[in-house]
């Protein structure tokens, strides 16, 4: 690049005052960033192209840690995305470490002349704009320019290489929970098993219908390693589909389809090179064909259907030859019905079938669509209008509106839809082309109870067994059960949650309490948990604490009585001393249920039992959770 171009052509506009900032303790200004190269990323968290940019930004940040500041300018497409809490969850889900400003009214967007998502704008250390680009594939271009700019402005003496110390971690912590942003779920009625994509833990969880964990596939570390369950690695997997003892996984951020041999407990790569495809409609087989952000899967006989979100297409793979090719969608991002190859889709993210038709949710057009399974078939829209037509409305096709749905499930002539950004579960009639709300208030949160009062938070996937629906309630980090006949929603409790913590390196919050002195005989251990101001206990949440004594002869514990926030265990005491350990998960939410936190706690309580002591109740100091 000509050095004169590095000098920039116009001053970078200042950030308007009054905007909400995330990932930093205070608002930032362009003036205080003088001396640094600043890269503005105009994005919206629904957009698959924006997701593809994030790894490039992380690589640039890692290569130029002292010279470059990346700032995400979140200019929302959907109404739900305008809320800072929703952006905060996306920051956690995408593991973004740089500052993000909520540009809900497009003020910054307009000042910088952005025209689409994603747009990147580079500002030099003097506060002038060097240039901008829109679209994917940013790393090579910006790496080259940044390399030249670092050398040029370093020689001029105006480059500030001091460490960036004003960055702070996001106030909403990454959830320390058995599941982390679970994206999809599928039920096997024959074996009564659930297969859950534990997306941000980079693994697949196998459980029974009652919540007993049967197996875990994946080490928990992000990667792309084949091999035994304990060693294999995934990168933010989404859709899962099964056929006999084989489980297929959309390994989304690895751009792979993986196959799990459940009997022999091994994972192999079925489809994809491991690199994001850059060309459309390039057919191929097995590990020689490049694919693009597979989001959901469906097995039908010897064929595997793939919701290829990054290509805006549905692909099909022959499971015998492993030949893969586009099935529906031209690759153009739009809502256009017609013959399979000519129709236009927009980020298909969920698949289902009644045996003759393939149903899918087209998330960026907020639509539910269907495709004939024959080679000469066509694509038709059931509910939905266009890329920028969305809302929260039941009714017929003319009136009904959804908002970025990600999941769909077919059972007994009923099509269930996870209307993700409306935090609802809906029923769509493919014959009448109508949509009605089954469960959810439309406000993100976490509440069990009746169908009408229940709350979800960006549910991403759903499946069913018998008369129950199982929902991957993504931002609540749990699985929910919807019982249409009983009219109730409840949260699935894992009976052995410790199995889900193995290998994750999760460290509990340790509370070391002072020793309690009690007399021999029958007594009790009582604990009280207190919450931060503005939070409340969720009775329906799977909070669970277990106590054990390290010396049963001195202090033998009986069955617990858990009545949150007071927990009590009977104790049979004899002279001596014991360490009592209480461990588990405590779930609590904001008063309006809009934000839920999970605290993994370990309480260490020494007990001394001696003659002459007067107390028979161990009344521990109330614990104030952070």
Classify domain 509-624 by CATH number.
2.60.40
562 pLDDT band, cuts 50/70/90, is: low
Q: In what order do the strands lie in the sheet with 68-74?
A: 20-22, 100-102, 68-74, 37-43, 119-123, 129-134
- C-alpha torsion angle, residues 326, 329, 333, 335 (rounded to 10): -160
Of the given ranges (214-218, 342-346, 587-591), which has the lowest mean pLDDT?
Answer: 587-591
Beta-strand runs (E) in 118-255: 119-123, 129-134, 184-188, 193-198, 203-208, 213-217, 227-228, 240-243, 246-251
Handedness of CA 443, 448, 451, 452 (dihedral sign): negative
Name the residue among 571, 562, 527, 517 with its Cα closest to residue 543: 562
594 pLDDT band, cuts 50/70/90, is: low
Q: Are 415 and 408 in contact (CB under 8 A)?
A: yes
Q: Cα dist. 25→22, 30, 41, 478, 522 in Å?
A: 8, 16, 20, 29, 51
625 pLDDT higher than 70:
no
pLDDT tens profile 261-286: 999 999 999 999 999 998 888 888 99
623 pLDDT higher than 60:
no
> Is residue 356 exposed (0-12), middle (13-18) or buried (19+ Cβ within 10 Å)?
exposed
* Residue 580: strand pairing partners: 549, 605
396 pLDDT band, cuts 50/70/90, is: very high
Q: What radius of gyration, in Å, describes the C-alpha atoms of the chain?
A: 26
What is the mean predicted confidence (pLDDT) over 144-159?
A: 96
CA distance 497 to 565: 20
141: part of which helix (H) or strand (E)?
helix 139-156
Domain boundaries, the chain: 3-156, 184-500, 509-624
509 pLDDT higher than 70:
yes
- C-alpha torsion angle, residues 557, 563, 566, 567 (rounded to 10): 10
pLDDT of residue 569: 84
Q: Cα dist. 595→172, 442, 477, 535 in Å?
A: 9, 15, 12, 9
Fold of 184-500: Neuraminidase (2.120.10)
Asked if domains 3-156 and 509-624 share a fold, the reply is no
532 or 28, higher pLDDT: 28
DSSP 403: S
pLDDT of residue 133: 96
Residue located via tokens 């590990």:
287
**3 state SS of 93:** helix
pLDDT of residue 480: 97
Residue 238 CB partners (closer than 8 Å, separation 6+): 183, 184, 197, 199, 250, 252, 294, 295, 296, 460, 461
Fold of 3-156: Glutaredoxin (3.40.30)
Q: Cα dist. 134→20, 113, 120 in Å?
A: 24, 11, 6
What is the mean predicted confidence (pLDDT) over 375-396?
A: 96
**3 state SS of 6:** helix
pLDDT of residue 498: 76
pLDDT tens profile 293-308: 999 999 999 999 999 9
167 pLDDT higher than 70:
no
Of the given ranges (56-60, 167-171, 361-365, 451-455), which has the lowest mean pLDDT?
Answer: 167-171
**3 state SS of 541:** coil
376 pLDDT band, cuts 50/70/90, is: confident
Of the given ranges (185-194, 485-494, 549-558), which has the lowest mean pLDDT?
Answer: 549-558
Q: Are strands 478-483 and 227-228 parallel, antiparallel or unpaired?
A: unpaired
CA distance 42 to 113: 11
pLDDT of residue 615: 76
pLDDT of residue 213: 94
What is the mean predicted confidence (pLDDT) over 503-530?
A: 80
CA distance 119 to 138: 10
169 pLDDT higher than 60:
no
Quote the tokens at residue 167: 């960055």
pLDDT of residue 482: 98
Work out the mean pLDDT of the chain and round it to a whole number.
91
pLDDT of residue 518: 86
Residue located via tokens 């000509």:
2
Report DSSP letters for 449-484, one per residue.
Answer: EETTT-B-SSEEEEEEETTEEEEEEGGGTEEEEEET
What is the mean predicted confidence (pLDDT) over 609-622?
A: 73
pLDDT tens profile 200-222: 999 999 999 999 999 999 999 99
Of the given ranges (105-119, 169-183, 326-340), which has the lowest mean pLDDT?
Answer: 169-183
pLDDT tens profile 67-84: 999 999 999 999 999 999
458 pLDDT band, cuts 50/70/90, is: very high
pLDDT of residue 171: 41
pLDDT tens profile 2-56: 888 999 989 999 999 999 999 998 999 999 999 999 999 999 999 999 999 999 9
Q: Are 413 and 454 in contact (CB under 8 A)?
A: no
**3 state SS of 144:** helix
Q: Are 123 and 30 in contact (CB under 8 A)?
A: yes
Residue 362 CB partners (closer than 8 Å, separation 6+): 335, 345, 346, 347, 348, 349, 368, 369, 384
pLDDT of residue 237: 98
496 pLDDT band, cuts 50/70/90, is: confident
Name the residue among 126, 166, 122, 131 with its Cα closest to residue 34: 126
What is the mean predicted confidence (pLDDT) over 152-179?
A: 77
CA distance 483 to 461: 16
321 pLDDT band, cuts 50/70/90, is: very high
What is the mean predicted confidence (pLDDT) over 577-605?
A: 78
């Amino acid at each position: 690049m000509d050095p004169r171009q590095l000098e920039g052509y116009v001053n970078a506009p200042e950030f308007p005052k009054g905007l909400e900032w995330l990932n930093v303790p205070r608002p930032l200004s362009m003036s205080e960033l003088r001396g640094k190269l600043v890269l503005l990323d105009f994005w919206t968290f629904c957009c698959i192209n924006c997701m593809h940019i994030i790894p490039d930004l992380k690589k640039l940040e890692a290569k130029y840690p002292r010279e470059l500041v990346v700032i995400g300018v979140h200019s929302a497409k959907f109404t739900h995305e305008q809320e800072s809490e929703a952006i905060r969850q996306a920051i956690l889900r995408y593991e973004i470490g740089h500052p993000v400003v909520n540009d809900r009214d497009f003020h910054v967007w307009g000042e910088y002349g952005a025209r689409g998502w994603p747009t990147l704008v580079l500002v030099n250390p003097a506060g002038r704009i060097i240039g901008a680009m829109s679209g994917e594939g940013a790393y090579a271009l910006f790496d080259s320019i940044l390399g030249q700019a670092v050398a040029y402005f370093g020689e001029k003496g105006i480059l500030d290489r001091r460490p960036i110390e004003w960055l702070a971690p996001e106030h909403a912590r990454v959830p320390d929970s058995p599941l982390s942003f679970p994206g999809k779920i599928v039920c096997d009625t024959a074996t009564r098993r659930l297969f859950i994509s534990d997306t941000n833990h980079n693994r697949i969880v196998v459980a029974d219908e009652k919540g007993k964990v049967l197996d875990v596939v994946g080490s928990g570390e992000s990667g792309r390693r084949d091999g035994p369950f304990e060693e294999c690695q995934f990168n933010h997997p989404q859709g899962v589909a099964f056929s006999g003892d084989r489980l297929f996984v959309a390994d989304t951020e690895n751009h792979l389809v993986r196959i799990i041999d459940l009997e022999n407990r091994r994972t192999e790569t079925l489809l994809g090179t491991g690199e994001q495809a850059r060309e459309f409609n390039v057919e191929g087989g097995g590990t020689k064909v490049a694919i693009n952000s597979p989001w959901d899967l469906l097995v039908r006989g010897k064929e595997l259907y793939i919701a290829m979100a990054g290509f805006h297409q549905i692909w099909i793979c022959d499971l015998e030859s492993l030949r893969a090719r586009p099935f529906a969608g031209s690759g153009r991002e739009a809502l256009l019905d017609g013959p399979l190859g000519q129709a236009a889709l927009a980020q298909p993210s969920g698949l289902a079938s009644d045996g003759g038709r393939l149903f899918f949710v087209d998330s960026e057009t907020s639509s539910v669509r269907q495709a004939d399974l024959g080679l000469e078939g066509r694509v038709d829209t059931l509910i939905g209008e266009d890329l920028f037509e969305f809302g929260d409305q039941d009714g017929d096709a003319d009136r009904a509106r959804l908002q970025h749905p990600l999941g769909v499930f077919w059972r007994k002539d009923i099509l269930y839809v996870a209307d993700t950004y409306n935090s609802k579960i809906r029923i769509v009639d493919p014959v009448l082309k109508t949509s009605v709300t089954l469960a959810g208030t439309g406000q993100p949160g976490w509440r069990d109870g009746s169908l009408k009062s229940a709350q979800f938070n960006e549910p991403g996937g759903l499946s069913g067994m018998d008369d129950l629906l199982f929902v991957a309630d993504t931002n609540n980090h749990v699985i929910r059960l919807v019982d249409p006949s009983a009219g109730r929603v409840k949260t699935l409790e894992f009976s052995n949650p410790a199995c889900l913590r193995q290998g994750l390196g999760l460290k509990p919050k340790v509370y070391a309490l002072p020793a309690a002195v009690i007399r021999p005989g029958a007594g009790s251990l009582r604990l009280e948990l207190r919450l931060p101001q503005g939070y409340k206990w969720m009775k329906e949440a799977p909070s669970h604490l277990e106590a054990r004594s390290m010396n049963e002869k001195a202090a033998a514990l009986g069955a617990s009585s858990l009545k949150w926030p007071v927990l009590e265990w009977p104790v049979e005491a004899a002279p001596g001393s014991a360490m009592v350990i209480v461990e588990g998960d405590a779930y609590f939410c904001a008063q309006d249920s809009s934000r839920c936190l999970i605290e993994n706690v370990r309480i260490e309580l020494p007990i001394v039992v001696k003659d002459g002591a007067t107390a028979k109740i161990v009344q521990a100091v109330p614990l104030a959770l952070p």
